[in-house]
Amino acid sequence: MEKFSLYDLLAVLFPGIVFIYMLNAIRNLFGIFSCYNLTEEWELLIVLSVLFGALIYVVSFTLVSKLKWLYKTFGLYTHVTDLYYKTPLHDIVGDTLNKRADEWFHQHIFMSKPEFDALSATEKTGIRTKQDEFYDRMYYELDYAGKLDTAKTFQSFYLFFRNIFIASFISIVTGVIICLLNLVPFLHFAAPTCSDSTALVIVFAAILFASVSIARWYRSRMVYKMYWYFYSHINAKK
Protein backbone atom coordinates (compact mmCIF):
# COMPACT_ATOMS: atom_id res chain seq x y z
CA MET A 1 0.00 0.00 0.00
CA GLU A 2 1.35 3.40 -0.97
CA LYS A 3 2.26 5.78 1.78
CA PHE A 4 0.25 8.93 2.47
CA SER A 5 1.63 11.93 0.61
CA LEU A 6 2.17 15.26 2.38
CA TYR A 7 -0.94 16.51 0.58
CA ASP A 8 -3.02 13.58 1.88
CA LEU A 9 -1.77 14.06 5.43
CA LEU A 10 -2.30 17.82 5.56
CA ALA A 11 -5.49 18.07 3.51
CA VAL A 12 -7.38 15.03 4.82
CA LEU A 13 -5.90 13.01 7.69
CA PHE A 14 -4.63 15.70 10.08
CA PRO A 15 -7.74 17.93 9.80
CA GLY A 16 -9.79 14.79 10.45
CA ILE A 17 -7.80 14.05 13.60
CA VAL A 18 -8.23 17.62 14.86
CA PHE A 19 -11.96 17.44 14.14
CA ILE A 20 -12.34 14.15 16.04
CA TYR A 21 -10.61 15.66 19.08
CA MET A 22 -12.92 18.67 18.88
CA LEU A 23 -16.00 16.44 18.72
CA ASN A 24 -14.63 14.41 21.60
CA ALA A 25 -14.19 17.58 23.68
CA ILE A 26 -17.83 18.49 23.01
CA ARG A 27 -18.89 14.94 23.89
CA ASN A 28 -17.01 15.12 27.19
CA LEU A 29 -18.41 18.56 27.98
CA PHE A 30 -22.02 17.42 27.68
CA GLY A 31 -21.50 13.85 28.84
CA ILE A 32 -22.75 12.34 25.56
CA PHE A 33 -21.93 8.61 25.24
CA SER A 34 -19.77 8.97 28.31
CA CYS A 35 -18.86 5.28 28.26
CA TYR A 36 -16.91 5.60 25.03
CA ASN A 37 -13.94 7.79 24.09
CA LEU A 38 -13.51 8.61 20.39
CA THR A 39 -9.73 9.02 20.74
CA GLU A 40 -8.98 6.07 22.98
CA GLU A 41 -8.33 3.45 20.27
CA TRP A 42 -5.91 4.59 17.60
CA GLU A 43 -7.30 2.23 14.94
CA LEU A 44 -10.75 3.79 15.25
CA LEU A 45 -9.20 7.25 15.44
CA ILE A 46 -7.44 6.73 12.08
CA VAL A 47 -10.57 5.38 10.39
CA LEU A 48 -12.76 8.20 11.71
CA SER A 49 -10.10 10.77 10.88
CA VAL A 50 -9.96 9.66 7.25
CA LEU A 51 -13.76 9.59 7.06
CA PHE A 52 -14.35 13.00 8.63
CA GLY A 53 -11.23 14.47 7.03
CA ALA A 54 -12.50 13.46 3.59
CA LEU A 55 -15.90 14.94 4.43
CA ILE A 56 -14.31 18.23 5.50
CA TYR A 57 -12.19 18.20 2.32
CA VAL A 58 -15.34 17.88 0.17
CA VAL A 59 -17.16 20.57 2.17
CA SER A 60 -14.12 22.85 1.89
CA PHE A 61 -14.10 22.70 -1.93
CA THR A 62 -17.89 22.82 -2.18
CA LEU A 63 -17.88 26.11 -0.28
CA VAL A 64 -15.57 27.61 -2.94
CA SER A 65 -18.32 27.32 -5.54
CA LYS A 66 -21.46 27.43 -3.38
CA LEU A 67 -20.67 29.71 -0.43
CA LYS A 68 -17.55 31.60 -1.46
CA TRP A 69 -18.82 34.59 0.56
CA LEU A 70 -18.00 32.66 3.74
CA TYR A 71 -14.33 32.41 2.78
CA LYS A 72 -14.31 36.04 1.66
CA THR A 73 -15.86 37.14 4.95
CA PHE A 74 -13.07 35.49 6.93
CA GLY A 75 -10.40 36.42 4.38
CA LEU A 76 -9.66 32.81 3.44
CA TYR A 77 -10.24 33.47 -0.25
CA THR A 78 -8.55 36.27 -2.15
CA HIS A 79 -8.79 36.29 -5.92
CA VAL A 80 -5.53 35.57 -7.77
CA THR A 81 -5.78 38.98 -9.45
CA ASP A 82 -5.72 40.74 -6.08
CA LEU A 83 -2.82 38.59 -4.90
CA TYR A 84 -0.94 39.31 -8.12
CA TYR A 85 -1.17 43.05 -7.51
CA LYS A 86 -0.15 42.77 -3.86
CA THR A 87 3.35 41.85 -5.02
CA PRO A 88 5.90 43.52 -7.33
CA LEU A 89 5.51 40.60 -9.74
CA HIS A 90 4.26 42.42 -12.81
CA ASP A 91 7.38 44.43 -13.61
CA ILE A 92 9.38 41.19 -13.85
CA VAL A 93 7.04 38.43 -15.03
CA GLY A 94 4.20 40.38 -16.69
CA ASP A 95 5.57 40.42 -20.26
CA THR A 96 6.42 36.71 -20.17
CA LEU A 97 3.02 35.75 -18.79
CA ASN A 98 1.32 37.83 -21.47
CA LYS A 99 3.10 35.86 -24.19
CA ARG A 100 1.39 32.71 -22.92
CA ALA A 101 -1.87 34.63 -22.45
CA ASP A 102 -1.66 35.57 -26.14
CA GLU A 103 -1.50 31.88 -27.02
CA TRP A 104 -4.41 30.94 -24.79
CA PHE A 105 -6.72 33.99 -25.00
CA HIS A 106 -5.33 36.06 -27.90
CA GLN A 107 -4.92 39.08 -25.64
CA HIS A 108 -2.76 40.48 -22.86
CA ILE A 109 -4.45 39.92 -19.51
CA PHE A 110 -1.62 41.05 -17.22
CA MET A 111 -1.05 44.75 -16.78
CA SER A 112 0.26 47.21 -14.22
CA LYS A 113 -1.88 48.07 -11.20
CA PRO A 114 -2.64 51.63 -12.46
CA GLU A 115 -3.71 50.21 -15.84
CA PHE A 116 -5.95 47.66 -14.17
CA ASP A 117 -7.49 50.28 -11.88
CA ALA A 118 -8.32 52.41 -14.91
CA LEU A 119 -10.49 49.68 -16.46
CA SER A 120 -14.27 49.73 -16.23
CA ALA A 121 -16.02 47.32 -13.84
CA THR A 122 -17.02 45.07 -16.77
CA GLU A 123 -13.47 44.99 -18.13
CA LYS A 124 -12.08 44.19 -14.67
CA THR A 125 -14.50 41.27 -14.34
CA GLY A 126 -13.37 39.93 -17.73
CA ILE A 127 -9.69 40.20 -16.79
CA ARG A 128 -10.32 38.51 -13.43
CA THR A 129 -12.12 35.63 -15.14
CA LYS A 130 -9.31 35.12 -17.64
CA GLN A 131 -6.60 35.37 -14.98
CA ASP A 132 -8.49 32.77 -12.95
CA GLU A 133 -8.54 30.43 -15.94
CA PHE A 134 -4.88 31.25 -16.67
CA TYR A 135 -3.97 30.26 -13.12
CA ASP A 136 -5.76 26.90 -13.46
CA ARG A 137 -4.08 26.11 -16.79
CA MET A 138 -0.72 27.25 -15.41
CA TYR A 139 -1.18 24.92 -12.43
CA TYR A 140 -1.88 21.86 -14.58
CA GLU A 141 0.95 22.61 -16.99
CA LEU A 142 3.45 22.89 -14.14
CA ASP A 143 2.05 19.77 -12.52
CA TYR A 144 2.38 17.81 -15.78
CA ALA A 145 5.97 19.07 -16.15
CA GLY A 146 6.77 17.93 -12.59
CA LYS A 147 7.68 21.46 -11.48
CA LEU A 148 5.04 22.00 -8.84
CA ASP A 149 6.52 20.35 -5.74
CA THR A 150 7.34 23.51 -3.78
CA ALA A 151 4.10 25.28 -4.69
CA LYS A 152 2.17 22.11 -3.82
CA THR A 153 3.76 22.10 -0.38
CA PHE A 154 2.43 25.60 0.24
CA GLN A 155 -0.93 24.50 -1.19
CA SER A 156 -1.01 21.52 1.18
CA PHE A 157 -0.41 23.74 4.21
CA TYR A 158 -3.01 26.22 2.95
CA LEU A 159 -5.58 23.43 2.63
CA PHE A 160 -4.64 22.12 6.07
CA PHE A 161 -5.37 25.44 7.76
CA ARG A 162 -8.45 26.05 5.60
CA ASN A 163 -9.80 22.66 6.60
CA ILE A 164 -8.96 23.32 10.25
CA PHE A 165 -11.08 26.47 9.90
CA ILE A 166 -13.95 24.32 8.56
CA ALA A 167 -13.48 21.80 11.41
CA SER A 168 -13.50 24.60 14.00
CA PHE A 169 -16.52 26.29 12.44
CA ILE A 170 -18.52 23.04 12.34
CA SER A 171 -17.48 22.22 15.93
CA ILE A 172 -18.61 25.62 17.20
CA VAL A 173 -21.95 25.30 15.37
CA THR A 174 -22.35 21.75 16.73
CA GLY A 175 -21.67 22.97 20.26
CA VAL A 176 -24.24 25.75 19.92
CA ILE A 177 -26.87 23.30 18.60
CA ILE A 178 -26.26 20.89 21.49
CA CYS A 179 -26.52 23.80 23.95
CA LEU A 180 -29.94 24.65 22.50
CA LEU A 181 -31.03 21.00 22.54
CA ASN A 182 -29.89 20.84 26.14
CA LEU A 183 -32.71 23.25 26.98
CA VAL A 184 -35.28 20.66 25.90
CA PRO A 185 -36.23 18.59 28.99
CA PHE A 186 -36.38 15.12 27.38
CA LEU A 187 -33.11 15.78 25.48
CA HIS A 188 -31.28 17.09 28.51
CA PHE A 189 -27.61 16.13 28.64
CA ALA A 190 -25.11 16.85 31.38
CA ALA A 191 -25.01 20.52 32.31
CA PRO A 192 -21.44 21.82 31.79
CA THR A 193 -20.03 24.46 34.10
CA CYS A 194 -19.76 27.99 32.80
CA SER A 195 -15.96 27.93 33.10
CA ASP A 196 -15.66 24.69 31.10
CA SER A 197 -17.96 25.97 28.37
CA THR A 198 -16.13 29.29 28.16
CA ALA A 199 -12.74 27.59 28.03
CA LEU A 200 -13.84 25.32 25.16
CA VAL A 201 -15.32 28.24 23.19
CA ILE A 202 -12.10 30.23 23.63
CA VAL A 203 -9.96 27.29 22.46
CA PHE A 204 -12.13 26.63 19.39
CA ALA A 205 -12.29 30.33 18.51
CA ALA A 206 -8.51 30.69 18.92
CA ILE A 207 -7.91 27.72 16.62
CA LEU A 208 -10.38 29.13 14.07
CA PHE A 209 -8.86 32.61 13.89
CA ALA A 210 -5.28 31.32 14.02
CA SER A 211 -6.00 28.95 11.12
CA VAL A 212 -7.51 31.82 9.11
CA SER A 213 -4.47 34.03 9.61
CA ILE A 214 -1.98 31.30 8.71
CA ALA A 215 -4.06 30.09 5.73
CA ARG A 216 -4.03 33.61 4.28
CA TRP A 217 -0.23 33.68 4.39
CA TYR A 218 0.16 30.27 2.77
CA ARG A 219 -2.28 31.09 -0.04
CA SER A 220 -0.47 34.34 -0.78
CA ARG A 221 2.91 32.57 -0.89
CA MET A 222 1.48 29.71 -2.95
CA VAL A 223 0.19 32.07 -5.66
CA TYR A 224 3.41 34.10 -5.61
CA LYS A 225 5.54 31.01 -6.11
CA MET A 226 3.22 29.65 -8.82
CA TYR A 227 3.78 32.72 -10.98
CA TRP A 228 7.52 32.64 -10.39
CA TYR A 229 7.76 28.93 -11.26
CA PHE A 230 5.68 29.42 -14.40
CA TYR A 231 7.85 32.37 -15.42
CA SER A 232 10.96 30.17 -15.00
CA HIS A 233 9.22 27.30 -16.79
CA ILE A 234 8.43 29.43 -19.85
CA ASN A 235 11.97 30.84 -20.00
CA ALA A 236 13.50 27.35 -19.66
CA LYS A 237 11.57 26.18 -22.72
CA LYS A 238 13.06 28.87 -24.98
> What is the per-residue pLDDT for 178?
83
> What is the per-residue pLDDT for 67?
77
> What is the per-residue pLDDT for 1?
42
Question: How many CB atoms lie under 10 A from the CB of residue 43?
Answer: 7
pLDDT per residue of the chain (238 residues) written in tens, 0 to 9: 456 688 888 999 999 999 999 998 988 888 777 667 777 778 888 888 999 999 999 999 888 877 788 888 888 888 999 999 998 889 999 999 999 999 999 999 999 999 999 999 999 999 999 999 999 999 999 999 988 888 889 999 999 999 999 999 999 999 888 888 777 766 666 677 778 888 898 999 999 999 999 999 999 999 999 999 999 999 887 6
Handedness of CA 212, 216, 218, 219 (dihedral sign): positive
The residues, any chain, with a CB within 8 Å of residue 154's CB and separated by 6 or more, are 218, 221, 222, 225
Report the alpha-carbon distance of residue 223 to residue 232 in Å, rounded.
Answer: 14
Report the alpha-carbon distance of residue 108 to residue 125 in Å, rounded.
Answer: 15
> What is the per-residue pLDDT for 4?
65
With CA atoms as reference, report the closest residue to 198 among 214, 213, 212, 179: 179
Report the alpha-carbon distance of residue 49 to residue 61 in Å, rounded.
Answer: 18
